[in-house]
Amino acid sequence: MADPSERISQLKIDRTAPVPARRNWLLPGIALALFGAAVAWWAFFSPGSATVLVETDIARKPPNAAAASSVLDASGYVVARRQATVSSKVTGKVVEVFVEEGMRVEKDQVVARLDDTTQQAQLSLALAQAESSRAALDEVDAQLRIARLERDRLRDLLQRNLTSQSSVDTAEATFDQHAARLQTGRENVKVAERNVELSRDSLSNMTIKAPFAGMVVSKNAQPGEMISPISAGGGFTRTGICTIIDTDSLEIEVDVNEAYIQRVRAGQPVSATLDAYSNWRIPAEVIAIVPTADRQKATVKVRIGFLERDERILRDMGVKVAFLGAEIPADVSEDVVGVMIAGEALRSDSGGDFVWLVRDGFVERRAVQVGGQKDRGQVLVLSGLSPGDTIVRSTESPLVSRQSIKTD
């Protein structure tokens, strides 16, 4: 068996052996990292080297002086200030409907009839009761005349001592009794007449009339259906015959951001454009600013009235409005200096206002002079751009001059 001390001696380091040469990899690694950083910088920061995806816009000439003088743009809807869902006062079965969508109706025009069989019977009964009360009143009146004659005759006999006082007293009591019955009969006649009026009113409730002149925009019930002034019977009972709007009460409602509400005032001129007729400018003005704000949307509702009425203006149409800074005549046709661009295309820094102009697939910074408010959907640029120039509306990353772009 080998001596363990010999094995331990084999573990000693021979310090006299020559040291092998070591290769230094640190300097080549640093050089490679610097080269990669330089390539990355050139790829991402050198002008024109990195292509950026952008959304473009075209500078257009203002369509009119109103668009150029706008101090605030907003969008909203056409609403009817006066509208009503016509219903009945009582629950009943629809027998006839006389209106259709788009039909014009006059005030108190009949729009529908309900089944009035029960009401007709009640009216006949009320009329019969009234007639019976009048007949009973005539009978009591005749009895009262007889009692008066008997009383007067007995009074005359009493003065000549030809009858007793008790007979006269009896005649007086009989007369008073018939007089009281006559008064009761008169009151009964009044009650019967009121009952006739009530029955006539119930019968008239079976005929549904238009509350005001206007246009029918929806027909909600058909003959054979049940209608009720309150929701009943699940989904099988209608609560209205039709909906009528007063076309003369059409106006615009827009929600204005509360940060810009100071630019709006009552009576302010407004240029309205329906989404359905983008080239038709409708003169309007602010009716009122509703004195409350929506805390959820941070907006204030503004009512705008049309200065011109037209059959093309329909309820619930989308509309864009421009609040004007000054009164603009409706017949303005002179050319307006400058071009209109999207508000988000305008940029500003310490050097002033500018836009990114697109030329041959590259962008260049172009200084511009802005007229009016800058925080609008469409901004008026007085100088720096020409109609038809293509500009960057939005970009996914910052731009530099002479950088190549790809349009969306």
Do 109 and 217 lie in one domain? The reply is: yes
Do 345 and 232 lie in one domain? The reply is: no
Contact between 129 and 244 under an 8 Å Cβ cutoff? The reply is: no
Helix (H, G, I), strand (E, B) or coil at 120: helix
Alpha helices, DSSP H, located in 16-99: 26-45, 65-68
Do 372 and 385 lie in one domain? The reply is: yes
Do 106 and 218 lie in one domain? The reply is: yes
Residue 229 lies in a domain: yes
* Residue 393, domain CATH: 2.40.420.20
Do 216 and 91 lie in one domain? The reply is: yes
Tell me what percent of the chain is helix, strand and coil, each rounded to the nearest 5.
Answer: 30, 35, 35
Q: Which residues contact 153 (CB under 8 A, 6 or more apart)?
A: none
Do 156 and 100 lie in one domain? The reply is: no
Do 366 and 391 lie in one domain? The reply is: yes
Do 109 and 210 lie in one domain? The reply is: yes
Compute the C-alpha angle 114/120/123, nearest 5°.
135
* CA nearest neighbour of 84 among 179, 216, 198, 188: 216
Residue 363 lies in a domain: yes
Do 219 and 91 lie in one domain? The reply is: yes
* Structure tokens belonging to residue 126: 């009320």
Residue 134 lies in a domain: yes
Task: Give the total number of structural domains in the chain.
Answer: 4
Residue 32 lies in a domain: no
Residue 273 is which amino acid?
Answer: T
Bridge partners, 288 (sequence order): 303
Residue 185 lies in a domain: yes
**Among candidate residues 222, 245, 268, the one where a domain is terminated:** 245
Residue 8 lies in a domain: no
Structural domain harbouring 233: 84-114+206-245
Question: For residue 207, what are the CA distances in angstroms to 110, 199, 234, 244?
Answer: 7, 13, 24, 17
Q: Which residues contact 407 (CB under 8 A, 6 or more apart)?
A: 53, 54, 55, 56, 358
Residue 316 dihedral angles phi and psi, to the nearest 5°: 70, 10
* Structure tokens belonging to residue 317: 């149409």
**pLDDT, position 343:** 79
Do 241 and 286 lie in one domain? The reply is: no
* Residue 320, domain CATH: 2.40.30.170
**Would you list the DSSP string of 128-164?**
HHHHHHHHHHHHHHHHHHHHHHHHHHHHHHHHTT-S-
Do 88 and 234 lie in one domain? The reply is: yes
Residue 211 lies in a domain: yes
Contact between 314 and 83 under an 8 Å Cβ cutoff? The reply is: no
* Structure tokens belonging to residue 194: 């009121």
CB atoms within 10 A of CB 60: 14
**Among candidate residues 245, 271, 304, the one where a domain is terminated:** 245
Residue 364 lies in a domain: yes
Question: What's the whole-model pTM score?
Answer: 0.60
Helix (H, G, I), strand (E, B) or coil at 245: strand
Do 150 and 196 lie in one domain? The reply is: yes
Return the H-helix or E-strand segment holding 237. Answer: strand 237-238
Please state, in angstroms and rounded to a whole number, the distance separating the CA atoms of residues 381 and 60: 10
Please state, in angstroms and rounded to a whole number, the distance separating the CA atoms of residues 346 and 371: 12
**Among candidate residues 148, 172, 202, the one where a domain is terminated:** 202
User: What are the pLDDT tens digits along the chain (408 aa)?
Assistant: 455 555 555 555 555 555 554 445 556 666 666 666 655 554 544 544 567 888 888 877 765 555 556 778 889 999 999 999 999 999 999 999 999 999 999 999 999 999 999 999 999 999 999 999 999 999 999 999 999 999 999 999 989 888 899 998 999 999 999 999 999 999 999 999 999 999 999 999 999 999 999 999 999 999 999 998 886 555 567 889 999 999 999 999 999 999 989 989 999 999 899 999 988 889 999 999 999 999 999 999 999 999 998 999 999 999 999 888 755 444 444 456 778 788 788 888 888 889 988 888 888 888 888 876 666 677 778 888 888 888 888 888 888 888 888 876
* Residue 238, domain CATH: 2.40.50.100
Contact between 166 and 238 under an 8 Å Cβ cutoff? The reply is: no
Q: Which residues contact 114 (CB under 8 A, 6 or more apart)?
A: 88, 90, 92, 93, 94, 95, 205, 206, 207, 208, 227
Contact between 114 and 238 under an 8 Å Cβ cutoff? The reply is: no
* CA nearest neighbour of 218 among 98, 78, 97, 101: 101
